[in-house]
Amino acid sequence: MKGLKILSMGLALVLMLGCNAIKNANNKQKGAVIGASGGAVVGGVIGNNVGKGNTVLGAIIGGVVGGVAGGYIGDRMDRQAERIEEEVPGAEVTRVGEGINVTFTEEAGVYFDTNKDEVKGTSGETLQRLAGIFQEYPKTIILIEGHTDSAGPEEYNMDLSRRRAQSVANYLIGQGVDASRFTVKWYGETQPRADNSTPEGKAKNRRVELGIIASEALKEEARQETGN
């Protein structure tokens, strides 16, 4: 997966679970090992490190199936992540556990005018490509989170993050993606990824994040196919 980021969990898993083999595991193998060895524990550790509340990464890890079925799911997520990385400009794609984390900032991928929430221009083209990939992989749940920098009143930023996240969901639904697949959340300025004291940091914090996890239909398919 050229350019695709993989969240490194090898060392933490070795320390907690004593499983050296995980260090060199590929994504498919990680999906199997994590759940079989204690995915809930790993999920708690990662959740504590990515911010308060039910963040995208916390939700991805919290949905781990594990075992051979988890490997089956991981394999399909590998393929979907590759498609997003190749076809969607401006998407920062990270494979983690049995899911995918996709981030769009105001400087890359999905743009919003200042204090606005309308999807337009090249942002629409980006989301059209993403919608096409979602339709290729229908057995997934899509989590959408809105975030802002710390400029402006906190209450206003919370509402702005809500409107932008919902705008992205509405656009994807308008492109034919089933509305039942979406969960939308918003956090305003409460979960920064970078330093809000710099223009560069603020740009990274003004973002929409997506999490892609297995639906119950995909989990059941994995169990049936693997006998897990």
Q: Closest by alpha carbon to 110, among 11, 203, 177?
A: 203
108: its two tokens: 């890359």
Spatial distance between the Cα atoms of 142 and 182, rounded to a whole number of angstroms: 5
Q: What per-residue confidence (pLDDT) applies to 6?
A: 60
- Whole-model pTM? 0.77
Q: Helical H runs in the chain?
A: 10-17, 27-49, 56-62, 67-87, 122-136, 154-174, 199-205, 216-226
DSSP 106: T
200 vs 40 pLDDT, higher one: 200
7 vs 216 pLDDT, higher one: 216
Cβ proximity of 70 and 26 under 8 Å: no
Spatial distance between the Cα atoms of 133 and 109, rounded to a whole number of angstroms: 15
100 vs 89 pLDDT, higher one: 100
Q: Helical H runs in 88-212?
A: 122-136, 154-174, 199-205
Domain 5-226 in CATH 3.30.1330.60: yes
At 72, the pLDDT band (50, 70, 90 cuts) reads: very high
**Each residue's pLDDT tens digit, 120-153:** 888 899 999 999 999 999 999 999 999 999 999 9
Q: How far does Cα 106 stand from its chain's mean position?
A: 17
Q: What per-residue confidence (pLDDT) applies to 38?
A: 32
Cβ proximity of 110 and 208 under 8 Å: yes
**C-alpha dihedral, 42 to 4 to 163 to 159, nearest 10°:** 50
Question: Residue 204 pLDDT > 70, yes or no?
Answer: yes
| Of 7-21, 43-57, 86-100, minimum mean pLDDT range | 7-21
Question: Residue 221 pLDDT > 70, yes or no?
Answer: yes
Average pLDDT over residues 39-56: 42
Secondary structure of residue 103 in the 3-state scheme:
strand
Average pLDDT over residues 37-60: 48
| Sequence spans of domains, the chain | 5-226
Signed CA dihedral, 160, 161, 165, 166: sign only: negative
Spatial distance between the Cα atoms of 114 and 108, rounded to a whole number of angstroms: 15
Average pLDDT over residues 13-30: 34
Question: Residue 41 pLDDT > 70, yes or no?
Answer: no
